[in-house]
């Protein structure tokens, strides 16, 4: 490689690193940037970013031309990917020759649905891929916060498409990819924290406001089916704090939050707005809320409460989505019905669950 060629390549690398810095707001954007920039640095048609998940499996993000595939694959101690993760950079000139000489497992994505888990012993027929299989490969391990986090791989359909200089450039690029991934992970953690209630783990008021705004916009565009906003609070919650202490009160909030979270599964989401006030966005018509409320009441009666806490009850107000509302108006309408429900809880009223529609 001539000095002029090296200089040109370094310039491309600097441009790639600058693009990485701009894309470090999300993990998906990082691998997309690497793939977009790789053609100016390498004779590669495929970019693969494989990251270890908290559960110990792989999450593959693979780019091939304009197509993107994502798969979760099991960790295999004898795999090529695992060899690179723990053993260092790997340059494979021809995967078929490499597997003939090394007792390792290589996996291949055929499509979003089809994965060959072991190229050595695949006996089942698979659909022909839309593009030829890759033959030559570079693998470089990635570290995030000083720990092995994944592998960056560039691949070509042609055998022996890469040389040692390519591997050195990829190692340098991988260091910056690791930094970009760490920055992206920090941003995503901050984003999650800013949308999550730290006590109950439910989405918080900010998350509710954004979700409600999206729901109203979808309704205005005619894209949203039946949707109800339910606002709830805990009957006489102050009593638990005053008589049993704030720790017991926190336990009550967490248990109520869990009951509401489960009640919203597959039909919406639950949010903690603050204090003892919760909200739910449910893909249910108003006529179905009575049955839903009875389910919640049964779950409250079956829940485990702190010592001294008995008969936790909720009161709620509900409002169906209409496209002419703002988030503030929608919430105010449900709040007004919540206070109607509270008034219905006067002694002798006999109201156990105060949903007012």
**What pLDDT, in 10s, does the model give residues 280-306?**
999 998 889 989 999 999 999 999 898
* Cα-based distances in Å from 357 to 211, 262, 290: 22, 22, 9
Q: Which of 20, 118, 33, 25 is nearest to 68 (CA)?
A: 33
The CB-based long-range contact list for 131-135 (8 Å cut-off, 24+ gap) reads 131/45, 131/64, 131/65, 131/157, 132/157, 133/95, 133/108, 133/157, 134/45, 134/46, 134/95, 134/108, 135/94, 135/95, 135/96, 135/159, 135/161
List 140's β-bridge partners, or say none: 152
Q: Which of 205, 192, 215, 218 is nearest to 281 (CA)?
A: 215
Question: Is 323:311 a contact under the CB 8 Å cutoff?
Answer: no
3-193, what's its fold? Beta-Lactamase (3.30.450)
Average pLDDT over residues 20-32: 67
Environment class of 152 (CB within 10 Å of its CB; exposed 0-12, middle 13-18, buried 19+): buried
> Pick from 102, 48, 69: which is nearest to 93 by CA?
102
Within this chain, domains 3-193 and 205-356 share the same CATH topology: no
* Superfamily name and number for 205-356: Reverse transcriptase/Diguanylate cyclase domain (3.30.70.270)
State pTM to two decimals. 0.62
Task: Kindly report, residue by residue over 139-183, the tens digit of the pLDDT.
Answer: 999 998 888 999 999 999 999 999 998 998 889 888 888 888 888
Domains in the chain: boundaries:
3-193, 205-356
pLDDT in tens, 179-217: 888 887 778 788 888 999 999 999 999 999 999 999 999
Q: How many angstroms from the chain centroid is the CA of residue 317?
A: 31
How confident is the model at residue 102, as a pLDDT? 83
């Amino acid at each position: 490689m001539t000095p002029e060629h090296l200089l040109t390549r370094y310039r491309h690398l600097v441009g790639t690193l600058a693009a990485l810095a701009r894309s470090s707001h999300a993990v998906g954007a990082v691998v997309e940037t690497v793939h977009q920039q790789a053609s100016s640095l390498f004779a590669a048609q495929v970019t693969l970013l494989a990251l270890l998940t908290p559960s110990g499996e792989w999450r593959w993000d693979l780019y091939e031309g304009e197509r993107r595939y994502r798969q979760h694959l099991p960790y295999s101690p004898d795999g090529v990917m695992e060899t690179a993760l723990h053993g260092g950079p790997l340059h494979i000139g021809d995967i078929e020759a490499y597997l003939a000489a090394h007792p390792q497992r290589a996996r291949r994505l055929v499509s979003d649905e089809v994965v060959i888990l072991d190229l050595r012993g695949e006996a089942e027929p698979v659909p022909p891929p839309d593009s030829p299989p890759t033959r030559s490969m570079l693998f470089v391990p990635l570290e995030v916060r000083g720990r092995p986090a994944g592998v960056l791989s560039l691949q070509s359909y042609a055998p022996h498409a890469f040389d040692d200089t390519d591997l050195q450039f990829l190692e340098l690029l991988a260091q910056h990819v690791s930094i970009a991934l760490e920055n992206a992970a920090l941003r995503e953690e901050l984003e999650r924290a800013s949308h999550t209630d730290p006590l109950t783990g439910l989405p918080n008021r900010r998350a509710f406001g954004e979700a409600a705004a999206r729901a109203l916009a979808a309704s205005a565009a005619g894209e949203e089916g039946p949707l109800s906003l339910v606002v709830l609070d805990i009957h006489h919650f102050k009593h638990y704090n005053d008589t049993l202490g704030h720790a017991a009160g926190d336990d009550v909030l967490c248990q109520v939050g869990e009951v509401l979270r489960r009640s919203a599964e597959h039909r919406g989401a639950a949010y903690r707005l603050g204090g003892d006030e919760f909200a739910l966005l449910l893909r249910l018509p108003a006529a179905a809320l009575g049955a839903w409320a009875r389910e919640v009441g049964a779950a409250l009666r079956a829940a485990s409460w702190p010592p001294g806490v008995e008969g936790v009850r909720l009161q709620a107000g509900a409002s169906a989505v209409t496209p002419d509302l703002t988030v503030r108006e929608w919430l105010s309408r449900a709040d007004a019905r919540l206070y109607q429900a509270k008034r219905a809880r006067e002694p002798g009223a006999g109201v156990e669950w105060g949903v007012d529609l």
